[in-house]
Each structure stands twice: as C-alpha cells, then as structure tokens.
A = this chain, B = another copy of it.
C-alpha cells in the first residue's frame, strides 16, 4: 500500500471511530467521509462495507475481550469469570450503538468482515461457559451459541433508549438463569447434552 494511502486509511479510521461513538454504528458513510475530508469513494475503497470498517475499528476490542476471557479462566472462579466476562461484553457493545445487530448477522454470514471475530468471541465465551458448567455453577442445557444469543439480546436491550435503564438489572436476571442449574435439584440426572 502506498504511503499516502496508508495515512489516509488511518485518518479515516480514527474519524470513523469518533463518528460512530457519537452517532452510533449506522452513521452514514458519507458523513464519515465528509468529517474526514475525504471523498466517499476513498472511504469505500478502504472499507468496502460498513462491516469492514467496524471490523478494523473493533479489532483491538475483540482481541482484548478474548484475551480477558483467557485470563479469567485462571484468575477467577468459574462462576465469577463467566459472569464478569459477560458483563464486560454487554458493556463493551454499548460503546458502539448498533453494533449488536451487525454482529448477530455476521455470525452466520461467512462473507462478513466481522464473521471471524464474532466466532472467536463466541468460542471464548463457550470456554468460560464449559468451565462453569463443569464446576456445577452453570446450567448444562445451554451452549456457546445460546450464550452468545443471550448476550446479544441484552446488548440489544442496552441499545434501546427506552429499555437501557433496565439493562443492568435485566443482566442480573438473565445471569441468574444461567447460573441456576435446574439439574442441580436432581444431581443423579444425566445432564442434557449441550446443543450442537
């Protein structure tokens, strides 16, 4: 890549970050280009889709979250690790309003620029979940995708202005459902296998 192109790309990315933080992840691409004093075509050449732009923008956050999952796996109890990581995930999405819908769509769209990051994130959550399940802290009838869906739902709630004030409380409600193992009342029962 040519030097001026690289510089332009970085500049656009920085501007896009503040624009998305201020106006949500569905800002018009034209607005971003305008704010960066760049032609729309230039923005779209560097980032052909909104997903590609977000992927570049959120890559470090994604890595941070997956890394944190790894740390928590050894530094905290299975239950605390799972819950605090989930809380971090929900809190993180609120920084980029509207990103939840894009991520949810990306997880089954292998062509999306966000696909790989989302799958990695889900896998990180699945590991924390499996550890909590193995220790008896979490119900065994959910899997990583269920967890991803629940987090996505909570993140979506946080994005809705009318429901956002309840988000923290509802996180606790859902968390209690994950942690309350219905099978624990009957320890002799073979746990229902996790859904594929």
Contact surface of A with B, Cβ cutoff 8 Å: 101, 104-105, 107-108, 139, 141-142, 145-146, 148-150, 152-154, 156-157, 160-163, 166, 169-170, 173-174, 176-178, 180, 182, 195
Residues A173 and B142 in contact, CB atoms below 8 Å apart: yes
| Residues from chain B with Cβ under 8 Å of A150 in the complex | 170, 173
A169 to B139, CA, bound (A): 13
Residues A157 and B152 in contact, CB atoms below 8 Å apart: yes
- Within 8 Å by CB of A182, from B162, B169, B176, lies B176
In the complex, the count of this chain's copies comes to 2
A170 to B152, CA, bound (A): 12
**Chain B residue nearest to A148 in the complex (CB):** B163
Residues B182 and A170 in contact, CB atoms below 8 Å apart: no
| Residues from chain B with Cβ under 8 Å of A149 in the complex | 157, 160, 163, 166, 170
A49 to B160, CA, bound (A): 20
Q: Smallest Cβ distance from A19 to chain B, in angstroms?
A: 22
Residues A174 and B176 in contact, CB atoms below 8 Å apart: no
- Within 8 Å by CB of A174, from B107, B148, B174, lies B174
- In the complex, besides A107-B162, A150-B170, 16 extra interface pairs with C-beta distance below 8 angstroms are A104-B162, A104-B163, A105-B160, A108-B162, A141-B173, A146-B169, A146-B170, A148-B163, A152-B157, A153-B153, A153-B156, A166-B195, A173-B174, A174-B177, A176-B180, A176-B182
Q: Smallest Cβ distance from A69 to chain B, in angstroms?
A: 21
**If A169-B195, A176-B180, A176-B182 touch, does A152 touch B163 (CB 8 Å cutoff)?**
yes
